[in-house]
């Protein structure tokens, strides 16, 4: 892919946790960059994640001292950002050992400015002047993913998996030719290849499907990196760090730039699994107008994303029962928001109960718009495997079902067999 561009085209490469997982792997990444640098690629910027397992270890360390400090405070973000800092230092050292001058850059150096929503901060701007100055002097920029700084100079993190988003945001700021996401699989597959061995590599993917797949749990790309790619028409390529450069990969690019679009899309491009969900059931919701709107309004203000919603029934006392799913990490916040609202508004019967042990399985595809019967096939395929559906939601381009977590992997395989390989 590099052949398509002049050697002075800015290129951003991102390496995920496994790609920099140990000393040898860091040296291998440095060797690849050194080769490209020697070949004359003069505008390389590399974004690195923490080494695999490192961020989880840091989360545990925070939990050990303060179970309540999790997700949402400056201390939590400061601890988590340390993992990327170490990777930047190690890759810089490895590049220098290869004889390549490198410039280590943490978020404050590039002024990767975010809002102050700790643990899920959004990038507002990046000042790339230092990278341009470094390139003039023949240096490779090595940038910490996942982290940012607020207006008050506090460290923030972008949400788990957020280094992908750092990389695409940097690619946009640098007006890069493309952003290469180097990971531990060949690209985006029709399902997680670790769960579904017969999953197929998707060589070209539109941003819309990729965004839906990422949002619904396919972990290979952080949803916001796809959103940014689409917004700024930044081509993204996902490839395997551990295979040679001519190997298979996935391209995401604006439709008009791709050369081999199939004439008609399949109904379903991919099947995804999200195990990090919980169900909240609200009981005693007063039937007076606006009570439901108030609950969801409050959750929205707090940044809690509400997904599958079922408006269950009216109970004997005339109050309503409503169920919805949230990310597990938002569960406590969702429950306390409901408690607070109930107290403030005097909704004495309003209660939120939580259920975990669930998973959301989705079939995604823009082709679904023009195919009938996707819902029927989904239900039949799951029923044939005796899998109970607990909740359902559909849109034009996806159908999601909530099932017991124990049945989740079987459900992914059933839907993949039905729509992709069947
Ligand atoms: P990195 O550390 O490089 O960011 P991640 O672990 O975040 O890598 O994402 C890569 C993983 O995503 C793969 O190892 C794979 O198991 C998982 N995955 C889930 N769904 C998909 C999919 N549809 N295609 C490819 N990989 C997927
Ligand atoms: N290190 C962070 C995480 O584990 C960010 C990333 O890997 O993208 O979530
Ligand atoms: Mg990742």
Predicted pLDDT at 1: 74
Cβ neighbour number for residue 222 with a 10 Å cutoff: 25
Taking the CA of 219 as reference, the closest ligand is: 1
Predicted pLDDT at 368: 84
Rounded Cα distance, 383 and 160, in Å: 34
> Is the shortest distance between the CB of 184 and ligand 1 below 6 Å?
yes
> Is the shortest distance between the CB of 17 and ligand 2 below 6 Å?
yes
212's enclosing H/E stretch is: helix 207-215
Minimum CA distance residue for ligand 1 atom 21: 192
> Is the shortest distance between the CB of 160 and ligand 2 below 6 Å?
yes
State which ligand 2 atom lies nearest to the alpha carbon of 83: 1
Find all residues with CB under 8 Å of 28, minimum gap 6, and list them.
Answer: 241
Predicted pLDDT at 282: 94
Q: Are 391 and 325 in contact (CB under 8 A)?
A: yes
Q: Which residue do the tokens 């240096």 mark?
A: 139
Q: Are 239 and 181 in contact (CB under 8 A)?
A: yes
Predicted pLDDT at 256: 53
Taking the CA of 214 as reference, the closest ligand is: 1
What is the whole-number distance in angstroms between the Cα of residue 162 and the centre of ligand 2? Answer: 6
DSSP for residue 254: -
Q: Are 165 and 225 in contact (CB under 8 A)?
A: yes
DSSP for residue 348: T
Positive or negative, the CA dihedral 106, 176, 213, 241 is negative
> Is the shortest distance between the CB of 20 and ligand 1 below 6 Å?
no
Predicted pLDDT at 255: 66
What is the whole-number distance in angstroms between the Cα of residue 321 and the centre of ligand 3? Answer: 37
Taking the CA of 200 as reference, the closest ligand is: 1
What is the whole-number distance in angstroms between the Cα of residue 37 and the centre of ligand 2? Answer: 26
Cβ neighbour number for residue 296 with a 10 Å cutoff: 14
Positive or negative, the CA dihedral 109, 112, 114, 119 is negative
Per-residue pLDDT for the chain (422 aa), expressed as one digit of tens each? Answer: 788 899 999 999 999 999 999 999 999 999 999 999 999 999 999 999 999 999 999 999 998 998 776 667 899 999 999 999 999 999 999 999 999 999 999 999 999 999 999 998 999 999 999 999 999 999 999 999 999 999 999 999 999 999 999 999 999 999 999 999 999 999 999 999 999 999 999 999 999 999 999 999 999 999 999 999 999 999 999 999 999 877 799 999 876 555 555 555 677 899 999 999 999 999 999 988 788 899 999 999 988 889 888 887 788 888 889 999 999 989 998 999 999 999 999 999 999 999 999 999 999 998 888 777 889 999 999 999 999 999 999 999 999 999 999 999 999 999 999 999 97
**Helices 374-384 & 408-416, crossing angle to 10 degrees?**
130
State which ligand 2 atom lies nearest to the alpha carbon of 159: 9
């Amino acid at each position: 892919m590099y052949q398509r561009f002049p050697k002075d085209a800015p290129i951003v490469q991102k390496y995920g946790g496994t790609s920099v997982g140990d000393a040898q792997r860091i040296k291998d990444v440095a060797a690849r960059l050194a080769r490209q640098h020697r070949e004359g690629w003069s505008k390389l910027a590399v974004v690195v994640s923490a080494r695999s397992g490192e961020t989880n270890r840091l989360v545990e360390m925070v939990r050990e001292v303060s179970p309540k400090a999790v997700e949402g405070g400056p201390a939590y973000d400061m601890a988590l950002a340390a993992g990327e800092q170490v990777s930047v230092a190690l890759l810089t050292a490895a590049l220098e050992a290869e004889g390549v001058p490198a410039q280590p850059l943490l978020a404050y150096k590039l002024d990767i400015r975010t809002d102050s929503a700790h643990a899920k901060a959004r990038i507002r701007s990046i000042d790339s002047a230092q990278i341009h100055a470094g390139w003039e002097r023949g240096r490779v920029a090595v940038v910490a993913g996942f982290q940012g700084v607020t207006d008050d100079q506090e460290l923030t993190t972008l949400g788990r998996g957020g280094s992908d988003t750092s990389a695409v945001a940097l690619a946009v700021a640098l007006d890069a030719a493309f952003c290469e996401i180097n990971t531990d699989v060949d690209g985006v597959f029709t399902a997680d290849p670790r769960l579904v061995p017969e999953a197929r590599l998707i060589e070209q993917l539109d941003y819309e499907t990729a965004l839906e797949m990422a949002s619904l749990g396919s972990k290979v790309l952080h949803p916001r990196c796809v959103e940014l790619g689409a917004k700024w028409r930044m081509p993204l390529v996902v490839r395997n760090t551990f295979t040679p450069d001519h190997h298979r990969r996935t391209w995401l690019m604006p439709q008009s730039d791709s050369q081999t679009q199939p004439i008609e899309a399949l109904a379903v491009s991919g099947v995804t699994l999200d195990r990090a969900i919980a169900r909240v059931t609200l009981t005693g919701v007063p039937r007076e107008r606006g009570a439901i709107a108030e609950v969801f309004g409050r959750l929205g203000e707090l940044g809690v994303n509400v997904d599958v919603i079922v408006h269950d029934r009216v109970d004997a006392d005339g109050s309503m029962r409503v169920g919805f799913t949230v990310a597990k990490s938002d569960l406590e916040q969702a429950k306390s928001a409901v408690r607070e609202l109930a107290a403030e508004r005097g909704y004495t019967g309003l209660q939120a109960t939580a259920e975990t042990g669930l998973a959301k399985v989705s079939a995604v595809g823009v082709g679904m718009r023009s195919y009938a019967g996707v819902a029927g096939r989904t239900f039949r395929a799951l029923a044939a495997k005796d899998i109970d559906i607990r909740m359902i939601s559909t849109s034009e381009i996806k159908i999601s079902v909530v099932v017991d977590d124990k049945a989740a992997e079987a459900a992914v395989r059933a839907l993949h067999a039905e729509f992709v390989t069947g």
